[in-house]
């Protein structure tokens, strides 16, 4: 009888997440080139970007609903084909509409990876789910570092004509994860609840709804800040891209060694302490310049490091009856919230900059002030999480008693 090769399936899952992260980093790196080559306005580029955020939650909702019937294998086939289609359509794009469609397929592929791999890993590693999910999610920040460095190197080496090659390089890890998954035996949902009716009913539990609300705040704290790092910190006296690479690199290391921390503090404790550190970090960053920006960025990396995987792991461990659907929807809620807050964060920057310029200061000084004021606004998200996760932490003994 053919055995399940957990190590190979886990490796393939990690590489598929690297592709997901590379799409974020490389798209950010080539956005200006796309605007120039196709004569697109910033508004049109914004719509192109939004398709990735829209495709992700649509895929997680779809994947969560059909996971029990299709399984992880078929969902990964959908992810693989969507990645191939999205990448190739982008390479051969002729303008706004083809970019819009191709970016949606890439977003849908990214969401399908999350919808398939999170429950797959939870099923394979039932005794240490949150730890292994953190190790899996090492490769989102890790993939951003890989994508950002690849984009910078190819732009510096090949110049403005390199964007098709930058997109094309993602075909290598895509084909690799497809090869690793090909022909493998997958677990049959033996360690997660696979009754879709039970899953849907469990979504109405107060604890799950509470966690969805928290996820919208944790995801916006993490991704909302990272997506605007160039605009927010461009005039702070520090290198925004160096900060992004440093933050994501530290996050990757932190997630890899998450096991002892989670075992010591348990998931509610990790989330509570993370919210405190993230609040302090963003507050410090909102007034820092020069070298202090790097110090506050290190704190930020520590603060947001465990948010995403621990939230998914919490749902898997403490609300197990939601099954794959619960894990998919919690991730989808985080990404959807991030997409909603993107234009709001942009408006904070625009309004603050306009007001500062009207007061008579230079454009560079106005951009610094706008970035700092925007960070002050973003700091509200983790501050609210301190209260919410504080409540969760006080209930940890009751939660442990109810775990299945």
What is the reported pLDDT for 178? 95
Centroid of chain to Cα 2 = 34
Q: 141 with 79, same domain?
A: yes
Q: Is residue 186 part of a domain?
A: no
Indicate which CATH number applies to the domain containing 87: 1.20.1250.20
Summarised one tens digit per residue, pLDDT across range 171-201 is 999 999 999 998 899 887 766 777 889 999 9
Q: 22 with 121, same domain?
A: yes
Q: 304 with 162, same domain?
A: no
Q: Is residue 161 part of a domain?
A: yes
Q: Is residue 192 part of a domain?
A: no
Looking at per-residue pLDDT, the higher value among 331 and 245 belongs to 331
* Average pLDDT of span 79-106: 93
Q: 284 with 386, same domain?
A: yes
Q: Is residue 121 part of a domain?
A: yes
Domain range for 338 is: 198-404
What is the reported pLDDT for 277? 96
Domain boundary (149, 179, 209) is at 179
Q: How confident is the model at residue 351 (pLDDT cuts 50, 70, 90)?
A: confident
Q: How many contiguous H segments (helices) and E segments (strands) does the chain have?
A: 19, 0
What is the reported pLDDT for 228? 65
- The answer on pLDDT for 127 being more than 70 is yes
Q: 73 with 109, same domain?
A: yes
* Average pLDDT of span 71-100: 93
Lowest mean pLDDT, pick from 152-161, 233-242, 281-290 = 233-242
pTM (2 d.p.): 0.80
What is the reported pLDDT for 396? 84
Find tokens 């992810």 and name the residue: 79
- The answer on pLDDT for 76 being more than 80 is yes
Q: Is residue 187 part of a domain?
A: no
* Average pLDDT of span 253-278: 88
Find tokens 């690297």 and name the residue: 18
Q: Is residue 184 part of a domain?
A: no
* Average pLDDT of span 94-119: 92
* Average pLDDT of span 213-224: 91
- The answer on pLDDT for 234 being more than 80 is no
Q: 15 with 147, same domain?
A: yes
Q: 146 with 270, same domain?
A: no
- The answer on pLDDT for 26 being more than 50 is yes
Q: Is residue 115 part of a domain?
A: yes
CA–CA separation, 79 and 177 (whole Å):
10
pLDDT mean across residues, the chain = 86
Q: 205 with 336, same domain?
A: yes
Contact 312, 133 (CB under 8 A): yes
What is the reported pLDDT for 7? 92
Please count the structural domains in the chain.
2
Domain boundary (179, 207, 234) is at 179
Nearest to 403 by CA among 289, 339, 283, 317: 317
What is the reported pLDDT for 1? 40
- The answer on pLDDT for 125 being more than 60 is yes
CA–CA separation, 14 and 198 (whole Å):
29
Summarised one tens digit per residue, pLDDT across range 364-384 is 888 888 888 888 999 999 999
* Average pLDDT of span 252-260: 84
Looking at per-residue pLDDT, the higher value among 224 and 273 belongs to 273
Centroid of chain to Cα 168 = 22
- The answer on pLDDT for 19 being more than 90 is yes
* Average pLDDT of span 261-275: 88
CA distances from 193 to 190, 198, 219, 305, 323 (A): 8, 8, 26, 28, 5
Q: Which residues contact 97 (CB under 8 A, 6 or more apart)?
A: none
Q: 58 with 164, same domain?
A: yes
Q: Is residue 259 part of a domain?
A: yes
Q: 253 with 152, same domain?
A: no
What is the reported pLDDT for 117? 93
* Average pLDDT of span 146-165: 77
Tokens read off for 30: 């080539």
Q: 45 with 111, same domain?
A: yes
Q: 126 with 153, same domain?
A: yes
């Amino acid at each position: 009888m053919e055995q399940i090769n957990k190590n190979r399936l886990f490796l393939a899952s990690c590489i598929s997440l690297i592709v997901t992260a590379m799409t974020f980093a490389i798209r950010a790196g080539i956005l200006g080139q796309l605007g120039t080559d196709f004569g697109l306005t910033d508004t049109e580029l914004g719509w192109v970007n939004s398709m990735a955020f829209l495709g992700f939650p649509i895929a997680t909702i779809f994947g969560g609903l059909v996971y029990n019937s299709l399984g992880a294998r078929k969902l990964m086939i959908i992810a693989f084909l969507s990645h191939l289609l999205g990448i190739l359509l982008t390479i051969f794009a002729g303008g706004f509409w083809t970019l819009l469609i191709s970016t949606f397929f890439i977003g849908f592929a990214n969401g399908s990876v999350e919808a398939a791999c999170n429950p797959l890993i939870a099923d394979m590693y039932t005794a240490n789910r949150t730890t292994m999910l953190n190790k899996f999610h090492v490769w989102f920040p890790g993939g951003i570092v890989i994508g950002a460095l690849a984009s910078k190197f190819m732009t510096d080496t090949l110049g403005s004509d390199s964007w098709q090659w930058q997109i094309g390089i993602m075909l290598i890890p895509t084909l690799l994860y497809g090869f690793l998954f090909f022909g493998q035996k997958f677990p049959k949902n033996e360690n997660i609840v696979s009754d879709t009716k039970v899953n849907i009913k469990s979504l109405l539990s107060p604890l799950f709804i509470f966690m969805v609300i928290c996820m919208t705040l944790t995801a916006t704290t993490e991704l909302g800040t990272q997506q605007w790092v160039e605009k927010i910190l461009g005039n702070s006296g520090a290198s925004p891209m160096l900060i992004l690479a440093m933050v994501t690199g530290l996050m990757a290391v932190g997630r890899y060694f998450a096991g002892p921390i989670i075992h010591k503090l348990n998931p509610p404790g990790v989330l509570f302490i993370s919210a405190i550190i993230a609040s302090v970090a963003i507050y410090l960053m909102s007034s820092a310049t020069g070298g202090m920006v790097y110090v506050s960025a290190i704190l930020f990396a520590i603060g947001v490091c465990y948010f995403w995987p621990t939230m998914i792991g919490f749902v898997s461990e403490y609300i197990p009856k939601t099954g794959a659907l619960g894990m998919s929807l919690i991730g989808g809620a985080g990404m959807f919230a991030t997409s909603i807050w993107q234009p709001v964060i942009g408006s904070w920057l625009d309004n603050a900059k306009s007001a500062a310029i009207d007061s008579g200061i230079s454009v560079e000084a106005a951009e610094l002030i706008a970035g700092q004021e925007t960070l002050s606004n973003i700091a509200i998200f983790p501050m609210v999480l301190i209260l919410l996760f504080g409540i969760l932490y006080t209930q940890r003994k009751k939660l442990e008693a109810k775990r299945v």
